[in-house]
Structure 1
Amino acid sequence: MRSIARRLASLRMLTTPLVLTFVGVVLLSLGVAYLFIHVYRTVEGLPLFFEILTLQFLPRPVRGFLLIVTGVGTLVAGIWRLSDVVIVKLRTTEAQGDDELVLGYRREVPPSVAVISGGPGLLVLSAIGEQVQRMTCIVPVQDHVEYYYRASALFNLRNVYYVVPTPEPIQVVAKLDDGNNVDVRHLALDPQIAPRHVAHMSLDGPENPPLTRLAAETIRDADAIILGPGSLFESILPNLLIPELRAAIIASRARTIYVCNLMTEPGRTTGFSVADHIRAIKQYGGFTPTYVLVNAQRIDPEVTRLYAAAHQLPVYLSPEEYEETALLRSDPGSHRGVMIEGAMVLEADLASSVIQYTASLTNPSESRAARVLRHDSQKLSRAILELLRKP
Structure 2
Amino acid sequence: MKWIKWLYPGLNLKRWLFLFALGAVLACVGVTLIFNYQFVGLLEALVLKFINSVGGEYYQSTITALGAFNVGLGILFMLLGATHVVKTIINAVMPGEKESLRELIFTQQKLDKGPSVVVIGGGTGLSVLLRGIKLITNNCTAVVTTADDGGSSGRLRKELGILPPGDMRNCLVALSDTEPLMEKVMQYRFKSSALSGHNLGNLFIAAMSDVEGGDMEKGIAATCEILKVRGHVWPNTTDNIQLKAKMDDGSTVVGESSITASPHKIVRLMTEPENPRASQRAVDAIMKADAIILGPGSLYTSVLASLIVPGIRDAVIRSKAVKIYVCNVMTQPGETDGYGAYEHVQALIRHMGCQCLDYVVVNEQKASPEILAKYEKEGAMPVSPDVEKIEKLSIDCVPAKLLNDSDLVRHNPLKLAKTIIALIYRLKLFGKGIRFFDYFFARQTMQELRKNAKKEN
| Alignment partner of 1:305 out of 359, 368, 373 | 373
Give the C-alpha shift of residue 214 in structure 1: 0.7
Question: Residues of 2 paired with 1:311 and 1:179: CA distance?
Answer: 23
In structure 2, the gaps of 5 or more residues are 1-80, 91-100, 149-163, 178-228, 429-457
More strand by share: 1
TM-score w.r.t. the length of structure 1 is 0.62
Give the C-alpha shift of residue 287 in structure 1: 3.3
Conserved? CA contact 2:292–2:324, under 8 Å: yes
Question: Residues of 2 paired with 1:204 and 1:242: CA distance?
Answer: 11
Give the C-alpha shift of residue 226 in structure 1: 0.6
**Does 2:411 align with 1:375?**
yes
**Does 2:128 align with 1:124?**
yes
Conserved? CA contact 2:243–2:270, under 8 Å: yes
Conserved? CA contact 1:197–1:266, under 8 Å: no
Q: Which residue of 1 aligns with 2:404?
A: 352
Conserved? CA contact 1:281–1:288, under 8 Å: no
The one-letter amino acid paired with 2:268 is H
Q: Which residue of 2 aligns with 1:150?
A: 170
Conserved? CA contact 2:146–2:235, under 8 Å: yes
Q: Which residue of 2 aligns with 1:281?
A: 348
Question: Residues 346 and 340 of structure 1: is their aligned pair in 2 closer, same or farther, counting only changes over 3 Å?
Answer: farther
Give the C-alpha shift of residue 340 in structure 1: 4.0
| Alignment partner of 1:92 out of 76, 79, 83 | 83
SS in 2 for 1:154: helix
**Does 2:363 align with 1:295?**
yes
Give the C-alpha shift of residue 107 in structure 1: 9.0
**Does 2:374 align with 1:322?**
no
Q: Which residue of 2 aligns with 1:180?
A: 251
Q: Which residue of 2 aligns with 1:13?
A: none
Question: Residues 351 and 188 of structure 1: is their aligned pair in 2 closer, same or farther, counting only changes over 3 Å?
Answer: farther
Conserved? CA contact 2:337–2:380, under 8 Å: yes
SS in 2 for 1:351: coil
The one-letter amino acid paired with 2:246 is K
The one-letter amino acid paired with 2:393 is E
Conserved? CA contact 1:278–1:341, under 8 Å: no
Conserved? CA contact 1:138–1:165, under 8 Å: yes
Question: Residues 151 and 121 of structure 1: is their aligned pair in 2 closer, same or farther, counting only changes over 3 Å?
Answer: same
Question: Residues of 2 paired with 1:160 and 1:290: CA distance?
Answer: 24
Question: Residues 178 and 223 of structure 1: is their aligned pair in 2 closer, same or farther, counting only changes over 3 Å?
Answer: same
Conserved? CA contact 1:233–1:268, under 8 Å: yes
Question: Residues of 1 paired with 2:87 and 2:307: CA distance?
Answer: 56
Question: Residues of 2 paired with 1:151 and 1:269: CA distance?
Answer: 24
Once the two structures are superposed, what CA deviation does each residue of 1:245-288 show, in whole Å capped at 9, x if it has no partner? 11111111101110101111111111112111111111112333
The one-letter amino acid paired with 1:133 is N
Question: Residues 93 and 228 of structure 1: is their aligned pair in 2 closer, same or farther, counting only changes over 3 Å?
Answer: same
Question: Residues 260 and 189 of structure 1: is their aligned pair in 2 closer, same or farther, counting only changes over 3 Å?
Answer: closer
The one-letter amino acid paired with 2:249 is D
Give the C-alpha shift of residue 188 in structure 1: 7.2
Question: Residues 259 and 95 of structure 1: is their aligned pair in 2 closer, same or farther, counting only changes over 3 Å?
Answer: closer
Question: Residues of 2 paired with 1:189 and 1:95: CA distance?
Answer: 55
| Alignment partner of 1:384 out of 420, 424, 445 | 420
Pairwise mapping of residues 262-273 of structure 1 onto structure 2 (< 5 A)? 262-273=329-340
Question: Residues 215 and 93 of structure 1: is their aligned pair in 2 closer, same or farther, counting only changes over 3 Å?
Answer: same
Question: Residues of 2 paired with 1:340 and 1:230: CA distance?
Answer: 24
SS in 2 for 1:288: coil
Give the C-alpha shift of residue 221 in structure 1: 1.3
Pairwise mapping of residues 128-207 of structure 1 onto structure 2 (< 5 A)? 128-143=133-148, 144-157=164-177, 158-183=229-254, 185-186=256-257, 190=261, 193=263, 196-207=264-275
Conserved? CA contact 1:119–1:149, under 8 Å: no
Question: Residues of 2 paired with 1:96 and 1:301: CA distance?
Answer: 55
The one-letter amino acid paired with 1:381 is A
SS in 2 for 1:182: strand
Give the C-alpha shift of residue 180 in structure 1: 3.0
Conserved? CA contact 1:228–1:258, under 8 Å: yes
Question: Residues of 1 paired with 2:123 and 2:88: CA distance?
Answer: 47
**Sequence identity (%):** 30
Conserved? CA contact 1:223–1:254, under 8 Å: yes
Conserved? CA contact 2:172–2:233, under 8 Å: no
Question: Residues 183 and 299 of structure 1: is their aligned pair in 2 closer, same or farther, counting only changes over 3 Å?
Answer: farther
TM-score w.r.t. the length of structure 2 is 0.53
